Structure 1
């Protein structure tokens, strides 16, 4: 029996995709410590302590202080461990908790999901690491590309997001109170240019005069010209109630990319100590499966193989992870599902193996 997890994506779901910006800790001195600030990530990969350059990469979303360990000042660090398969795809992805104490668990998972879409030159590699440094940059001095990367890729509401929006709107902005929309359009989320496991975002700015949208401008985006064009088209077609002219209106649209299928699942391993009668396994009822949320939002599928025992009274125990791809997060989710399952009282079982597939629902 193979259990499949429905990850249930929705249209235009956002995730951690952003624009990397070169720089260093000197940014931290650009603004007073009390001023709103972002933490902008830079990442460098290596395998066996030798630098490796991806042939395709997406960038990580800037963070706010609320997503980092309290007390951090100039910079935060993170680490992802991984291998590379023969096709150049990252596998065995894990951000160890002990090496990522500067960031919260949801940030670790979001980073893993973003990294799953990277590609390296074909050829298997092991002992690989992606080291990340989040350098502080004041909102007051950050360039539009950094501000838009946060606004487009990080949808955490609050004062920091408001400060970023005001910077993107401009000093003379007068669009704090929007006019009533009489009609509006939405972008075509199926426009060409979708990439597997990559979410597109586009930050748009415009003005309003005589109830019509003017001066539509894409401030920055994740880099999909067809989607940017759709965002500009839809924005320009809005019609509003007559009223005072407004400038500096800002919004962001985003969409999920193509589904990134999981690597091939190997057959379950055999074990000479295994005693798992089919009738006992048939009576086992797993809990409803919930996959890793960040991977769902990114459109990344995965699988896990879990070994476990069943006591004669129906309790599940001795749960072990045999393997999971492309990231250990799928294994953690599968083990949680197995642990909470129950079987009918009766004959026990030892060494049962459960394949678990995490699929994106159409």
Structure 2
């Protein structure tokens, strides 16, 4: 109270002995050089675009541009127009001899820095592939957001969002992807028989999904005709089997035009690289028993973005244990294929505790493996502490 009162008195004295202060003008941030201001605000379709990837050169300073075989394809998202560009996202990683990106981590000013709508960027990079060759290190990939109004977005991009939506597609998206003059919606014809591709016969897709949108018309008897592929990931085998599946479908009688239906094949399991043994990273002064007596076991949680893509991973975590059983000084020693597996494993260890008693431990090391179960297995994807 005294300090506040003194400040108030000082301000009063200044006003009595000085000319009136200028009017207060609130600071208004000017849009950046690449900003696009849309008035009124519009809903937009956004996607992450990767700029050229550079890796360190072994023969001198600078970097070399890396040839890419399969580009990362992060999920599209809906956003709103804004007066300044989105913050870019830069990932650091290495590339093994097979062209697989590993040891992926974000480059950011703070570990708590949040980049909106970027949950699928690192998983998408983990599922991408570069040209084969020698191992490369010091690689960086910068992703920027390309956002366009729904009214101006390419139809294929809107279809890609509708197949893998982050939120339910609004009416404006369905209006754009519906062919002009379509009589196959509002209402849609009842399905008597829906054909499906033999997904198991299609090529493996480790960590990434493919899709195909088939267009067709219906004859008087409800049989599809004029089958064509409208858009997709350009996977010839899926496009062909999707058209075959639509051809086998049957609908209630009635002539209709401008019908469309999507099929997609989810990613197959992308195994993690072989993890090291715990003894290889355990410190010489460790006092922690190899077999733990958990009082509160770790809550096993699989990172959702990697579970969706069927990407496996692991993390080596070290920590200490207080005499009362609480874990502390938790640190990630290694994790693959991205640092996000290490972040998830560290959070799991922090939530766990040992049985009380004793003098505590130092230098505990746990290997946390994130394992996907194949279709038909009796258990769901899980994390395993061993």
Residues 267 and 301 (structure 1), Cα distance of their counterparts in 2 relative to 1, 3 Å cut? same
Give the structure-2-normalised TM-score: 0.76
What residue in structure 1 maps to residue 23 of structure 2?
none
Aligned to 2:46: 39
Asked if residue 80 in structure 1 is aligned to residue 91 in structure 2, the reply is yes
Which digits, 9 at most, give the CA deviation of each residue in 1:285-310, with x for residues without a partner?
A: 53231111111111211000011122
Q: Which residue of 1 aligns with 2:369?
A: 357
Q: How does 1:272-351 map to 2 (within 5 A)?
A: 272-278=284-290, 281-283=292-294, 285-347=296-358, 348-351=360-363
Task: Identify the residue that residue 257 of structure 2 maps to in structure 1.
Answer: 247
Q: Given the two structures, how large is their TM-score scaled by the length of structure 1?
A: 0.80
From 151, 162, 183, the equivalent of 2:162 is 151
Larger Rg: 2
RMSD across aligned positions (CA): 2.8
Q: What is the rounded CA distance, in whole Å, between the counterparts of 1:278 and 1:326 in structure 2?
A: 25
The answer to whether the 8 A contact 2:100-2:128 is kept is: yes
The answer for the alignment partner of 1:194 in structure 2 is 204
| Number of equivalences | 328
Separation of aligned partners in 2, 1:59 and 1:143 = 16
- 1:231 corresponds to: 242
| d(CA) in 1 for partners of 2:136, 2:200 | 35
* Alignment check: 8 A CA contact 2:312 2:370 kept: yes
Structure 1 position 134 matched with structure 2 position 142:
no
Give the 5 Å matches for 1:213-232: 213-232=224-243
Contact kept in structure 2, 1:73 and 1:136, CA below 8 Å: no
CA deviation after TM superposition for structure 1 residue 116, in Å: 0.7
Q: For residue 179 of structure 2, what is the aligned residue in structure 1?
A: 170
Do residues 61 (structure 1) and 61 (structure 2) align?
A: no
Q: Which has the higher contact order (CA 8 A, sep 6+)?
A: 1
Contact 1:39–1:75 under 8 Å retained in 2:
no
Which residue of 156, 177, 195 maps to 1:185? 195
Q: Give the Cα separation in 1 of the matches to 2:211 and 2:108.
A: 29
- Do the aligned residues in 1 keep the contact of 2:70 with 2:128 (CA within 8 Å)? yes
Cα drift, residue 158 of structure 1: 3.5
Unmatched runs of 5 consecutive residues or more in structure 1: 1-24
Change (3 A) 1:96 1:248: farther
Gaps of 5+ in 2: 1-32, 57-61, 375-386
Structure 2 CA distance for partners of 1:55 and 1:186, relative to 1, 3 Å:
closer
- Kept in 1, the 8 Å contact 2:35–2:84? The answer is no
- Aligned-pair CA distance for 1:123: 2.1
CA distance in 1, matches of 2:83, 2:325: 47
The farther-off stretch of 255-264 and 50-59 is: 50-59
1:334 Cα deviation from its structure 2 partner: 0.9
**CA shift digits 1:90-141 (9 cap, x unpaired):** 111123455896842xx33311111112222322222221112222223333
